[in-house]
Structure 1
Amino acid sequence: MSETNVAPTLVEEDHIQADETAYDDFEDEANDVASVGGSSYTSITSSILRGEIGEGGRTYAVYGKEEYGLPMDEAELDRIDMCHAKYYALLEKKRFLAPIGSNPQKILDLGCGTGIWCIDVADEYPSAEVIGVDIAPTQPDWVPPNCRFELDDMERPWMWKENSFDFIFCRDLLLACRDFPKLIDQCYTHVKPGGYVEFQAVTACIGSDDNTLPVDGSFQKFADNLNKSAKIFGTPIDDPLRWKGWFEERGFEDVTVKVVKLPCNTWPKDPRMKVLGAWEMENLLSNLEGMTMRVFQKALGWTPEEVSVFLVGVRKEIRDRSIHAYWPYYIVHGRKPLSG
């Protein structure tokens, strides 16, 4: 497979106008996303259910052939649910962008996390059987009748029937997938001819259109270290830039790339973007340790104390509304040929 880089092509909100008004920190009242607990798995061992205590005192999944870089505890599940609401707003009240039609029969969500995307899509498409798969059994018991979850490692050989899914989806496989070309190949094999595959992810390729992000500041160093550690860990966080090329190499048609900007705090003037920035600021401030403790220690050799001290400066810059930073959010989808 080639390592073709796809340059970010921002087709929406090419330049977000900054809010220059001086006022108190924005308080988001819209983020009231409920966290659901419990599990629909009853026959797996208690060690898999519990996970293991690891870096930073967080709980990590133990199922699967490789280590996953993010935790699986309540704090992480709350973060996933908040991000679900955030991405829904970012994509202007859409769960995905692929034109799958109104009557899909079978949908697969890879790395489903809390299962919240599966539940919403199952409600929206009662015609479809919606299956969520993850290495952590963190999904609820009460789900729509056309929704179910499976404990599995998506990077192992799939046991589902080939050419069986109308739509395969995944979102934010951060620090999780070590071989996207292989994953894309499995998606191609198991999606129906004419069916769609869509990948979504935020990247750590931090940007600023007006050069307000200090090149030697803590926030830029955070992004640089996250990219460096993820690569060493075996899960390059800039892989979404190469998705389009990998989709096309495998044989997908009409491969479409959309990149939108996700502001990192409340600096935008536009009210919708300001709310999105508030959600992302909360996502960062409350979860920096979860994003970094394992990969910074294992990949960069940092001590827990070094990580904590470094994050003090990062938090300060995240709160600074004079820094107009954003993350590129990638959405890539393609269709399997009817002759496939």
Structure 2
Amino acid sequence: MPEDETTATSGIVHENAQPLVAANDSHSDYEDDASVASSTQSLTDSIRDHIYENGRRYHRKSEHYLMPSDETEQDRLDMAHHLQLLILGGALHMAPVPPNPPNVLDVGTGTGIWALDFGELHQGSAVIGVDQMPIQTTWTWPNVKFEVDDIEKEWTWKKNKFDFIHMRHLATSIRNWPYLFQQMYDHAAPGAWVEISEHTLDELYCDDGSVPEDSIFRRYMRTLGLSVTKAGAHGYLHGRDYKRMLLEAGFVDVTIYTFKVPCGGWPKSRRFKDIGRWCAEALKTGLEAYGLALMTRYGLTEMDARELVNGSMEAMRLGKEHGYYIQYQVVGRKPRADEVAV
């Protein structure tokens, strides 16, 4: 295992829930800001344009995000959110943010489910979820809105604006991590926390020798890491790499929380068995979502790619190979004004 594990679990209970409102509801507390409904009405056709490849739908404008945008993928993203909650013991994040940070940014929000959950729990926070694809719900909490933008380009929000910045599972698409982290630093308020949630893409780990070197699941993972790298992203990043880049951007108090995520319900522990079963359920479509476009664009035929996908699913179903990947929560803080050397 590449990093020492730092454990922390907590429970979150939804309290004082308020009714959902339409994103273009005139009674919204944030009606002066563009919401997903109003903003997407004026989107050009190209923003909604898609291509179809290997039987899956992909967003044409998101050329660097080589994962599907169809309903199957949206269901997987919501399932992955539930899996993330299980991994973190019910928590939405590990960063020690205050009860209601005024301005919160969810980078690569996907379906928007994390932003919605955070907005429900922190009703004094104004939450923005940003993504290249307008796949978010048109119904939101009054304090949550969604925007369509490319987060690898120059950010247009005010600098020193956000009191908490959250980003999850974008490793297959980001080309320039140092630039992205610098943007996060510039737009975080002094004293604000940031949290990066990523997992390994290049290896299937095992502690008991049950996963052989020639395991098809292990070959899938190694081919995925290589394909991500060929695509111009970074298939071999680990927690220490994200920590180093956050420190180089200027963040302090950077901490890595490391979790083993079993691929299947093979663990004896009830908690990890539950996590493994949810992981296996998400990977039923996730193995294809992560690997198919990347592998077929960068070296494999569709037949060979599907052989890796289907073989890995079968190995996971049988449960004889006790493999896992590693989930990282990397947390850092922008220095307060009184901590910055003049």
TM-score by length of 1: 0.87
Task: Find the aligned partners of 1:168 and 1:62 in 2 and give their Cα distance.
Answer: 27
Alpha-carbon offset, residue 180 of structure 1: 1.0
Task: Find the aligned partners of 1:187 and 1:326 in 2 and give their Cα distance.
Answer: 30
Alpha-carbon offset, residue 290 of structure 1: 1.9
Corresponding position of 2:260? 261
- Provide the secondary structure at the position in 1 that maps to 2:298: helix
Corresponding position of 2:74? 77
Instruction: Select 1:238's aligned residue among 228, 236, 239.
Output: 236
Alpha-carbon offset, residue 53 of structure 1: 2.4
Alpha-carbon offset, residue 288 of structure 1: 2.2
Corresponding position of 1:149? 146
Gaps of at least 5 residues in structure 2 are 9-22, 24-35
- Give the count of matched residue pairs: 308
Alpha-carbon offset, residue 308 of structure 1: 1.8
Alpha-carbon offset, residue 292 of structure 1: 1.4
Task: Find the aligned partners of 1:240 and 1:208 in 2 and give their Cα distance.
Answer: 17
Q: How does 1:164-175 map to 2 (within 5 A)?
A: 164-175=161-172
Corresponding position of 1:11? 6
2:64 is the alignment partner of 1:59: no
Corresponding position of 2:122? 125
CA contact (8 A) 1:247 1:334 kept: yes
CA contact (8 A) 2:165 2:193 kept: yes
Corresponding position of 1:140? 137
Task: Find the aligned partners of 1:288 and 1:246 in 2 and give their Cα distance.
Answer: 28
1:9-45 alpha-carbon deviations (Å, 9 max, x no partner): 22349xxxxxxxxxxxxxxxxxxxxxxxx96321112
CA contact (8 A) 1:201 1:329 kept: yes
Task: Find the aligned partners of 1:290 and 1:53 in 2 and give their Cα distance.
Answer: 15
Task: Find the aligned partners of 1:240 and 1:165 in 2 and give their Cα distance.
Answer: 26
CA contact (8 A) 1:55 1:293 kept: no
Q: How does 1:71-110 map to 2 (within 5 A)?
A: 71-110=68-107
Corresponding position of 2:223? 225
- Provide the secondary structure at the position in 2 that maps to 1:166: strand
Instruction: Select 1:330's aligned residue among 328, 331, 338.
Output: 328
Task: Find the aligned partners of 1:295 and 1:55 in 2 and give their Cα distance.
Answer: 11
Task: Find the aligned partners of 1:169 and 1:7 in 2 and give their Cα distance.
Answer: 23
1:57-105 alpha-carbon deviations (Å, 9 max, x no partner): 21112235x4211011100000000010110011001000101111210
Task: Find the aligned partners of 1:214 and 1:7 in 2 and give their Cα distance.
Answer: 19
Which stretches of structure 1, 4 residues or more, deviate above 4 A after TM superposition? none
2:244 is the alignment partner of 1:249: no
Matched to 2:224, the amino acid is L
Task: Find the aligned partners of 1:320 and 1:92 in 2 and give their Cα distance.
Answer: 27
Corresponding position of 1:184? 181
1:54–1:67 Cα change, 3 Å: farther
Corresponding position of 2:30? none
- Provide the secondary structure at the position in 1 that maps to 2:123: coil
Matched to 1:281, the amino acid is A
1:194–1:12 Cα change, 3 Å: closer
Matched to 2:277, the amino acid is A
Task: Find the aligned partners of 1:209 and 1:308 in 2 and give their Cα distance.
Answer: 27
Task: Find the aligned partners of 1:77 and 1:270 in 2 and give their Cα distance.
Answer: 30
Task: Find the aligned partners of 1:111 and 1:311 in 2 and give their Cα distance.
Answer: 25
1:151-204 alpha-carbon deviations (Å, 9 max, x no partner): 000000000000000000101114221111111000000000100110001212
1:119-140 alpha-carbon deviations (Å, 9 max, x no partner): 0000111111100000000001
Task: Find the aligned partners of 1:161 and 1:87 in 2 and give their Cα distance.
Answer: 30
Alpha-carbon offset, residue 217 of structure 1: 1.2
CA contact (8 A) 1:60 1:73 kept: yes
Alpha-carbon offset, residue 310 of structure 1: 3.0
Corresponding position of 1:21? none
Task: Find the aligned partners of 1:222 and 1:306 in 2 and give their Cα distance.
Answer: 10
Task: Find the aligned partners of 1:239 and 1:182 in 2 and give their Cα distance.
Answer: 16
Identity %: 36
Task: Find the aligned partners of 2:285 and 2:65 in 1 and give their Cα distance.
Answer: 20
Corresponding position of 2:12? none
Gaps of at least 5 residues in structure 1 are 1-5, 14-37
**Cα root mean square deviation, aligned:** 1.8
Greater RCO, 1 or 2 (C-alpha within 8 Å, sep 6+) = 1
Corresponding position of 2:31? none
